[in-house]
Structure 1
Amino acid sequence: MSNETLIGSVNKGNEAFFIADYLKKNNKCSLLYIARDEKEIFDIKSKIEWLIPTVEILIYRSWDQIPYDSVSPSREIQSERINTLYKIYHNKNQNIVISSVNAILQKTINVDFIKNNFIEIFLNKKINFEQLINKLIYLGYQRTSVVREKSEFAIRGSIIDIFLSDRIKPIRIDFFDQNIETISEFDRLTQKTTKKIYENILITPSSELLINKKSLNLFRKSFREIFSEYRHSQIYNLFSNSIIPSGGENFLPLFNESLSTIFSYCLNYHIILNNDFENLLDMRIENINDFFKAREEGGDNFHLPPEKLHLNYKIIQNNFNNFSIVKLYEYNLNKEINFKINKLPNLSSIR
């Protein structure tokens, strides 16, 4: 590809130093780094925070369950993904998105989802108390008696407690009539208020699968077109009764007229690929296909084919044609650029 740059001598563990150097030399661009796995995502993040503390770093991980498993991805992961896409879409400042091979293969929510499913709250905002509760349920928050975990909310009189995925502590919203009187942080163990909050708060969806009458009708229509024996599907019957089954997120494409990809959000970004990218991509695509075949061979025929949920190798390469791509190699490259790392002070504090 003419838009591809090859960089040699980037040893495993030194990628963050190359990213920092690249960003300084290209100080007007944003970057998407595709890491090997989740461990590397957080390793790169911690190093870049130390090397370039002024740059915003966003995390975009894959669902934390096996493909085609009847277990749902965690609410925290889903909410984190949604929050990252929201920030990419709305924030035009320079940033670094750190993702993984598994994550970029997975299709995701489209821009309409980002535009229509967020709630901004602030002091003295007039908002209908009951409508807010219904909206929280629609956005995937689970009502409990006491808020302990992320994506939970509880109601006590005119107070709503909620734990947002992008906050360290849950927040308490106190209403007077239909106005927000105070917003505070509180300790999830003691339930005691710790400090007042005066800035605006964005309540993000905690699930990528949101169900309303329109999306449910779309699901039922699409499911019947794909599976002629739909009446025998427990998934179909549960969804038809407005019950989200465990692992129901695997049917996300049927609830949406279209899905998007991380590449559709990261327009004009430069993409940096880890030096194991090709092998990891091939392995992941093979694993996804194997999981699908195993379900079919086991007699479980009510699953969407891989192309409904994931990209394939050809689509990935076609997407890359629209970006400036930097491919990293561990070994020295003849007639190409080789990275030279400058001597740095003791880095034990960021390991």
Structure 2
Amino acid sequence: MIDSKSMIYNSGIYKSRFFDEFLDKIKSKNSILIDDILDPEISFLTTFLNHTLKKDILIISTDRRKDLLYKNLSSFNDNLLEFLSWETLPFEEIKPSLDIIGQRFDTLNKLQVSKKNNLLICTLHSLLQKIIPSDVLKDLSLHLKINESHDFDNLIKKLVHLGYKKETLVSDKAQFATRGYIIDIFPTNQDHPYRIEFFSDEIESIRTFDLETQKSVERKKSVDIFLADELKFLKEEKNPANISSYLKDDFLVIFDDLYQV
């Protein structure tokens, strides 16, 4: 199956003198400024560079434009990611929403494991924001699969360590509950809560379930569970990073609107 990016690239659109000269300028200069460029052209040029240079590309946009840019690029890029910023400022000592935390760590995990050359959209705010380093993140997540063995009690302790709160019934994100050898949990990075059933220390099944009825819905082979309390760990982190540290070496930076960023 040929992806849409390859179809566009092989169609001849990029095989022109303009793109050859554009690529030469990118390779020979530290920076290049392009004025009066339309939104579709931004997407075409960005996709061209990603495909040709085989590099990660960091696209810095604004809150006003990032959604449109994401929509345009997602039409023919399956390696497109977005890194959201907190809706609060770190010095306010207010925890960001669980949805944003989940999306942020889902993006960090994808960058960490991806073998592709990714396109990453973020705002200047999210770029400058301190985050947990890549090597630390590995210890602050769980990747559970059926038929794997995990010490049940240690797993419960790990969930608490990650910021999940134990409840009688799960009703919201960042909560978990236990019944015998069953763990119900609503990961911050998931759209639905998950039910993980154990036989002794082996994961026998993983299913999503409905919050209202508490009934199991769909079988899954695995579930990723990421940190629920980002603020707490950032306070404890002595060497915080930023999102650029998750990109492959020699990545390219594109400012969507330099004067507005």
Q: TM-score with structure 2 length normalisation? A: 0.79
Distance change >3 Å, CA 207–CA 58, structure 1 → 2: farther
Contact 2:188-2:225 within 8 A present in 1 as well: no
For the pair 1:40 / 2:65, whether they are aligned, the reply is yes
Structure 2: distance between partners of 1:257 and 1:60: 22
- 1:1-351 → structure 2 map (5 Å cutoff): 2-11=29-38, 15-24=42-51, 26=52, 28-37=54-63, 40-52=65-77, 55-198=78-221, 200-209=222-231, 252-253=234-235, 255-266=236-247, 267-275=249-257, 277-280=258-261
Contact 1:76-1:151 within 8 A present in 2 as well: no
Q: Which amino acid aligns with 1:79?
A: G
> Which residues of structure 2 form unaligned runs of 5+?
1-27
Give the CA deviation at 1:209: 4.1
Structure 1: distance between partners of 2:256 and 2:66: 11
Contact 2:40-2:72 within 8 A present in 1 as well: no
Contact 2:81-2:121 within 8 A present in 1 as well: yes
Give the CA deviation at 1:60: 0.8
Q: Which structure ranks higher in relative contact order (CA pairs < 8 Å, sequence separation ≥ 6)?
A: 1
Distance change >3 Å, CA 279–CA 197, structure 1 → 2: closer
Structure 1: distance between partners of 2:212 and 2:75: 31
Q: How many residues align?
A: 233
Q: TM-score with structure 1 length normalisation? A: 0.60
Structure 2: distance between partners of 1:144 and 1:14: 51
State the Cα deviation string for residues 88-130 of structure 1 (Å, max 9, x = none): 1221212211111110111111123123222221112111111
Identical counterparts, % of pairs: 30
Structure 1: distance between partners of 2:171 and 2:42: 37
